[in-house]
Amino acid sequence: MTYEDYLKKAYYDPSHPGSYGGVEKLYKAVRKEGKYVLGRAKIKKWLEGQETFGLHRQINRSFRRRKVIAPFIDYQWDADTAVMKSFSKENDGYAYFVVTIDVFSRFANTHPLRSTQGKEMVTALQTLFRRGRKPTKLRTDKGVEFRNRDVQRLLKAEKVDFFYTQNEQKSSYAERCIKTLKSRLYRYLSRHQTHRWIDVLDEITQSYNAAYHRSIKMAPRAVTKKDETRLWKLQYSTQHYVKPATRGYKFRKKETPSASRTLGSRSIESTTNVGRWSISWWTTEVRKMAYRISR
């Protein structure tokens, strides 16, 4: 088996820790398995040749905010709902999935939903709590799926303190987790030319929890009580500001990079690439680089 075949098998297996992610996730997973000695540059070059990676590469536009501090495992969970309505017919009526993530360990849980009504959300949360973990506090956005009477009654019975965020970033850890999970799901859908995601949601979630997480320097599922002191220092100790180095040019003149779908105020959520069986962040249009601006 060549290293290309090995990478292909690992990347397109939904249960693999390096599947449908980025360069770093695949590199860490490959290095841990030890079957091939592959550098980041070689893995990046291989990924850039995969259409599913290029079309769904994330676009990040943000600025620094204050950290949310959790002192120990399962102290605070963030929760949010991912929307998959356009694929509901192919997924037995499931149009959403709820995501919870432990802020301290980054361990995520998911559960598919047909609707966001209170009773169905209660059933989903009960299922997640029965898996053996439960938070002291639960933070969400202002969505009615969490603020309704049924959910609030459940949280009170389970002695979970509920609060919701006031800023525009909403439930940031859960939203970032959803962004990662949906990116992997869309790459899977593109690869297999299908809209059916519920069959692999659990595998994609397990892959997320098994993969190395940069902020905690380990996989979320590997975090235990004995790691709490070390992870506290790692995540929340004061760090000295280091001025970032001047960035070089990413593209050469006359090169033909893909164009982003989020131009100006236009949102990716309103753009569906039906012909490619998924929502993608990038177009397949060919545009030539005319000039470059340093920054």
Rg (CA), the chain: 20
Of 184, 195, 211, 259, give the one whose Cα is nearest residue 31. 211
What token pair was written down for 281? 């962040």
Give 19's contacts (C-beta < 8 A, 6+ positions apart): 10, 11, 12, 13, 184, 188, 204, 207
Q: Are 219 and 211 in contact (CB under 8 A)?
A: yes
For the domain made up of 63-237, give the CATH fold. Answer: Nucleotidyltransferase; domain 5 (3.30.420)
Rounded distance between C-alpha atoms, residue 259 and residue 55, angstroms? 10
Task: Give strand pairing partners of 138.
Answer: 77, 162
Boundaries of CATH 3.30.420.10 in the chain?
63-237
Closest C-alpha among 4, 9, 13, 12 to residue 42? 4
- Per-residue tens of pLDDT for the chain, all 295 residues: 888 899 988 888 888 888 888 888 889 888 888 888 888 898 888 888 887 776 666 655 555 556 678 899 999 999 999 999 999 999 999 999 999 999 999 999 999 999 999 999 999 999 999 999 999 999 998 889 999 999 999 999 999 999 988 665 555 899 999 999 999 999 999 999 999 999 999 999 999 999 999 989 999 999 999 999 999 999 887 654 555 666 677 777 767 766 665 543 333 443 444 343 445 656 667 677 777 776 6
What is the side-by-side strand order in the sheet with 161-164?
108-113, 96-102, 76-83, 137-140, 161-164
- Are the beta carbons of 60 and 45 closer than 8 angstroms? no
SS3 232: helix
Q: CA-to-CA distance for 94 and 89, rounded, in angstroms? A: 8
